[in-house]
């Protein structure tokens, strides 16, 4: 009888224990995935998110922690940075980028001008890393890089899976070091490998030249903080030269400060007229108008553009074209008409976000196709040294008008 009682008690305890374990297992397995990740702070958001199921994210996180084996130590913080980078990549916008700590430090150095590299502006065209323009006198130009060159590899790394900023980071480096670029040029079937030696990059903003027949040339290579002042000096030089016609050369100009483009446009476009529109996600666009500097309003002007003309240079060229203050000569421009804003995420990370698109005065989006020249002049592959058919066409046009 005692044995039976003992057996019953043990069995009951076993059943109770098993039930408790099963209940605990069931309760844990049915908990939200987010709650099953221990030691993670800031799991909830202040945003009123509805109809968004985050459980796949947290389940993937848990499975990685439980099962992944690799050469590197498991780093939860890197998972966070990687998740944010994946989130920005999903937008399909190469100019919206998250900078984890090291990339953030490099980017801040870049915008201060404290870097060395090959001296080429690059961008994304149809999801392919492409040379917008090599800077005049830079290692990239000396190595033979041309606007429109597609960069297939940087050293041994294929570029198809790199973001724009990752590619820029790989191309830049210490002065005197070398980088191998595998390029595919328009009209060629086989890639070519080009070795470029990195160097400190110095960009001449404006170069002026007086030609015969009353023609004056202003070459504007970028829109820097000082380009408005330097352009004013170039205008003064033009007026004092006795010249009556102007060539504004924006070829290979990758852009820069939007405000500089508006200020320079004000020399050509009457006061109060729209130079550009800035369209946001919501609401009406902002209109940027000429302050009416007037000196060049009635000057016959030819504007040179090519595949290396991008961003702020497209803003200026598009405004002159639509206001009929300049005829565009050359090749279709690059097509980069978006506005980025840098937001701090943590004290040592940041997010560069596309917040708006630039539109021409008539509301045309520059990002879609770029600008079409009024007179198309392509550069032949067999161009002889010293020849410039686009400049020649500009001068021919001004002589006839």
Q: 314: domain CATH number?
A: 3.90.226.10
β partners of residue 182 = 153, 193
In a domain, 92, yes or no: no
Of 132-136, 142-146, 300-304, 339-343, give the range with the top mean pLDDT: 300-304
Q: Which tokens is 359 given?
A: 């539109």
The label of the residue with tokens 């404290």 reads 114
322 tagged catalytic:
yes
Closest by CA to 329, choosing from 266, 396, 232, is 396
Q: Give the mean pLDDT of the chain.
A: 85
The residue segments making up the domain with residue 340 are 206-400
Q: 151 near 326, Cβ under 8 Å?
A: no
| Predicted confidence band of residue 30 (pLDDT cuts 50, 70, 90) | low
| Predicted confidence band of residue 373 (pLDDT cuts 50, 70, 90) | very high
109 tagged catalytic:
no
In a domain, 72, yes or no: no
In a domain, 23, yes or no: no
DSSP 12: H
In a domain, 327, yes or no: yes
Segment 317-326, tens digit of pLDDT: 999 999 999 9
Is this prediction's pTM over 0.75? no
Whether residues 238 and 380 fall in one domain:
yes
**What is the number of structural domains in the chain?**
2
Closest by CA to 341, choosing from 280, 284, 288, is 280
Pairing between β-strand 120-125 and β-strand 116-117 as defined by DSSP bridges: unpaired
Mean of the pLDDT values across residues 34-53? 61
Segment 168-192, tens digit of pLDDT: 889 988 899 999 999 999 889 899 9
Q: 269 near 290, Cβ under 8 Å?
A: yes
Choose the catalytic residue: 121, 141, 230, 322.
322
Whether residues 236 and 191 fall in one domain:
no
CA distance 135 to 331: 18
100: helix, strand or coil: coil
CA distance 52 to 247: 55
Look at 123-132, 226-235, 300-309 and tell me which has the smallest mean pLDDT: 123-132
Instruction: Dump the DSSP string for 334-382.
Output: ----EEEEEEEEETTEEEEEEEEEEE-TT--BHHHH----SEE-PPPTT
Is the pLDDT reported for residue 16 higher than 90? no
CA distance 101 to 347: 9
Whether residues 129 and 274 fall in one domain:
no
Confidence (pLDDT) at 49 = 60
Q: Which tokens is 187 given?
A: 């009209």
CA distance 128 to 47: 35
Mean of the pLDDT values across residues 136-164? 91
Is the pLDDT reported for residue 119 higher than 80? yes
Whether residues 251 and 392 fall in one domain:
yes
CA distances from 236 to 218, 232, 241, 298, 320 (A): 12, 6, 9, 15, 20
Choose the catalytic residue: 138, 228, 311, 313.
311
Look at 32-36, 351-355, 382-386 and tell me which has the smallest mean pLDDT: 32-36
CA distances from 388 to 210, 382, 385 (A): 16, 12, 9
Higher pLDDT, 231 or 169: 231
Segment 248-260, tens digit of pLDDT: 999 988 888 889 9
Confidence (pLDDT) at 6 = 47
Higher pLDDT, 109 or 71: 71
Domain of residue 144, CATH code: 2.30.42.10
Domain boundary among the residues 200, 222, 241 is at 200
Confidence (pLDDT) at 205 = 78
Confidence (pLDDT) at 287 = 97
Is the pLDDT reported for residue 386 higher than 60? yes
Whether residues 147 and 227 fall in one domain:
no
Whether residues 307 and 186 fall in one domain:
no
In a domain, 317, yes or no: yes
Confidence (pLDDT) at 34 = 56
Whether residues 215 and 183 fall in one domain:
no
In a domain, 74, yes or no: no
Other C-beta atoms closer than 10 Å to the C-beta of 124 total: 18
Domain boundary among the residues 184, 200, 216 is at 200
Confidence (pLDDT) at 179 = 96
Question: CB-hemisphere CA count at 13 Å for 104?
Answer: 17
Choose the catalytic residue: 336, 352, 357, 393.
336
Confidence (pLDDT) at 161 = 85
Q: Is 58 exposed, middle or buried (0-12, 13-18, 19+ CB in 10 A)?
A: middle
Is the pLDDT reported for residue 389 higher than 70? yes
311: alpha, beta or left? (left if phi > 0; alpha if psi -120 to 50): left
In a domain, 58, yes or no: no
Is the pLDDT reported for residue 72 higher than 80? no
Q: Which phi and psi (to 5°) does residue 118 adopt? A: -100, -10
Mean of the pLDDT values across residues 219-230? 88
Whether residues 280 and 368 fall in one domain:
yes
311 tagged catalytic:
yes
Mean of the pLDDT values across residues 163-169? 85
Confidence (pLDDT) at 341 = 84
β partners of residue 351 = 98, 343
Residue 241 parent element (H or E): helix 227-241
Whether residues 321 and 174 fall in one domain:
no
| Predicted confidence band of residue 215 (pLDDT cuts 50, 70, 90) | very high
In a domain, 301, yes or no: yes
Expressed in angstroms, the distance from the first to the final Cα of the chain is 122
Q: 310 near 351, Cβ under 8 Å?
A: no
Is the pLDDT reported for residue 7 higher than 80? no
Mean of the pLDDT values across residues 211-235? 92
Domain boundary among the residues 200, 222, 255 is at 200
Whether residues 327 and 220 fall in one domain:
yes
The contacts of residue 143 (CB under 8 Å, 6+ apart) are 118, 194, 195, 196
Whether residues 229 and 369 fall in one domain:
yes
Whether residues 222 and 305 fall in one domain:
yes
Q: Which tokens is 49 given?
A: 């998110």
């Amino acid at each position: 009888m005692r044995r039976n009682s003992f057996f019953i008690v043990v069995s009951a305890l076993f059943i109770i224990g098993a039930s408790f374990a099963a209940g605990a297992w069931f309760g844990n397995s049915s908990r939200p995935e987010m709650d099953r990740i221990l030691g993670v702070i800031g799991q909830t958001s202040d945003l009123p998110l509805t109809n968004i199921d985050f459980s796949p994210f947290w389940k993937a996180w848990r499975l990685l922690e439980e099962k992944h084996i690799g050469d590197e130590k498991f780093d939860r913080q890197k998972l966070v940075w990687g998740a944010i980078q994946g989130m920005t990549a999903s937008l399909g916008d190469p100019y919206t980028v998250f900078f984890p700590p090291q990339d953030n430090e490099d980017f801040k150095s870049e915008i201060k001008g404290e870097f060395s590299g090959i001296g080429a502006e690059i961008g994304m065209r149809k999801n392919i890393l492409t040379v917008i323009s090599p800077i005049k006198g830079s290692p990239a130009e000396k190595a033979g890089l041309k606007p429109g060159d597609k960069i297939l590899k940087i050293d041994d790394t294929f570029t198809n899976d790199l973001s724009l900023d990752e590619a820029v980071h790989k191309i830049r480096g210490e002065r005197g070091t070398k980088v191998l670029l595998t390029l595919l040029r328009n009209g060629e079937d086989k890639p070519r490998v080009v070795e470029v030696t990195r160097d400190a990059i110095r960009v001449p903003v404006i170069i002026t030249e007086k030609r015969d027949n009353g023609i004056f040339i202003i070459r504007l290579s970028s829109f820097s903080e000082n380009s408005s002042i330097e352009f004013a000096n170039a205008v003064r030089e033009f007026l004092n030269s006795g010249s009556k016609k102007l060539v504004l050369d924006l070829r290979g100009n990758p852009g820069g400060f939007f405000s500089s483009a508006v200020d320079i446009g004000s020399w050509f476009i009457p006061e109060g007229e729209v130079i550009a529109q800035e369209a946001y996600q919501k609401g009406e666009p902002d209109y940027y108008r000429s302050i009416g500097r007037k000196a060049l309003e009635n000057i016959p002007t030819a504007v040179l553009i090519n595949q290396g003309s991008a961003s702020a240079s497209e803003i200026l060229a598009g405004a002159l074209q639509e206001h009929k203050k300049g005829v565009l000569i050359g090749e279709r421009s690059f097509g980069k008409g978006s506005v980025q804003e840098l937001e701090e995420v943590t004290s040592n990370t940041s997010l560069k976000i596309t917040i708006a698109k630039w539109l021409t005065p008539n509301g045309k989006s520059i990002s879609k196709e770029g600008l079409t020249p009024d007179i198309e002049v392509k550069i032949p592959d067999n161009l002889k040294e010293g020849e410039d058919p686009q400049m020649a066409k500009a001068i021919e046009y001004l002589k006839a008008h």
